[in-house]
């Protein structure tokens, strides 16, 4: 959270009392939305642990999720170098955008989130039944077996590269990435 000194140094005059706030997913790094806070909204955000903005259209405070239940739980708040913009890292509950998407920005803006999504999928599969899930079975077999698979897939990736088989290289590199995660 902001320290007391950081709060005192915020340049509200420069922003005419409404500071831009970039909201970013604390785990994935995805930029979720942009909003504005006045000092009262910042105070409420810090006190409640849920992002509260000042609505320029409604001319009032509103806590993101107050009607939808899709709250933005605050992890940290940091000012930029000029003290006229805030970066708020959050753990969102549900979609952030009123259109039902995780971000208010286009889907193409966060295609780089693939690795995060793959890690989430692997975490889910890790707890599945080892009798029906390769991932769960691999985790159950221990670190030595996983390391062995990483080695095997690394060799297979290198061999595919040496014979200039792009399709096979893509497949083997995918297998290697899967086992690395």
Domains of the chain, with CATH numbers?
Answer: 4-92 (3.10.20.810), 112-180 (1.10.287.1080)
Q: What is the mean pLDDT of residues 9-28?
A: 96
Q: Is the pLDDT of residue 86 over 60?
A: yes
What span, in angstroms and rounded, lies between the C-alpha atoms of 43 and 54? 12
Summarize pLDDT for 35-66 with one digit per residue, the tens: 999 999 999 999 999 999 999 999 999 999 99
pLDDT band at 181 (very low <50, low <70, confident <90, very high): confident
Burial class (CB in 10 A: 0-12, 13-18, 19+), 136: middle
**Residue closest to 37 by CA, chosen among 51, 54, 24, 62:** 54
Q: What are phi and psi of 52, to 5 degrees?
A: -125, 130
DSSP states of 3-21: -HHHHHH--TTTTTT-EEE
Quote the pLDDT of residue 7.
96
pTM surpassing 0.75?
no
Quote the pLDDT of residue 107.
65
Summarize pLDDT for 101-157 with one digit per residue, the tens: 999 987 655 666 677 778 888 888 999 999 999 989 999 999 999 999 999 999 999
What span, in angstroms and rounded, lies between the C-alpha atoms of 98 and 60? 18
Quote the pLDDT of residue 1.
85
Quote the pLDDT of residue 138.
92
What span, in angstroms and rounded, lies between the C-alpha atoms of 64 and 92? 10
Quote the pLDDT of residue 118.
83
What span, in angstroms and rounded, lies between the C-alpha atoms of 46 and 86? 13
């Amino acid at each position: 959270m902001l320290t007391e000194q950081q709060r005192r140094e915020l340049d509200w005059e420069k922003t005419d009392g409404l500071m831009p706030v970039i909201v970013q997913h604390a785990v994935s790094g995805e930029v979720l939305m942009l909003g504005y806070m006045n000092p009262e909204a910042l105070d409420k955000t810090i006190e409640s642990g849920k992002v509260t903005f000042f609505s320029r259209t409604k001319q009032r405070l509103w806590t993101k999720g107050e009607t939808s239940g899709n709250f933005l739980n605050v992890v940290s708040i940091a000012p930029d170098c000029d003290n006229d913009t805030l970066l708020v890292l959050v753990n969102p509950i549900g979609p952030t955008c009123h259109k039902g998407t995780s971000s208010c920005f286009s889907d193409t803006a966060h295609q780089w989130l693939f690795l995060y999504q793959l890690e989430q999928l692997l975490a889910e599969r890790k707890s599945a039944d080892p009798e029906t899930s390769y991932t769960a079975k691999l985790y159950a077999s221990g670190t030595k077996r996983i390391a062995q698979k990483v080695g095997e897939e690394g060799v297979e990736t290198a061999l595919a590269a040496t014979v200039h088989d792009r399709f096979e290289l893509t497949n083997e590199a995918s297998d290697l990435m899967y086992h690395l995660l």
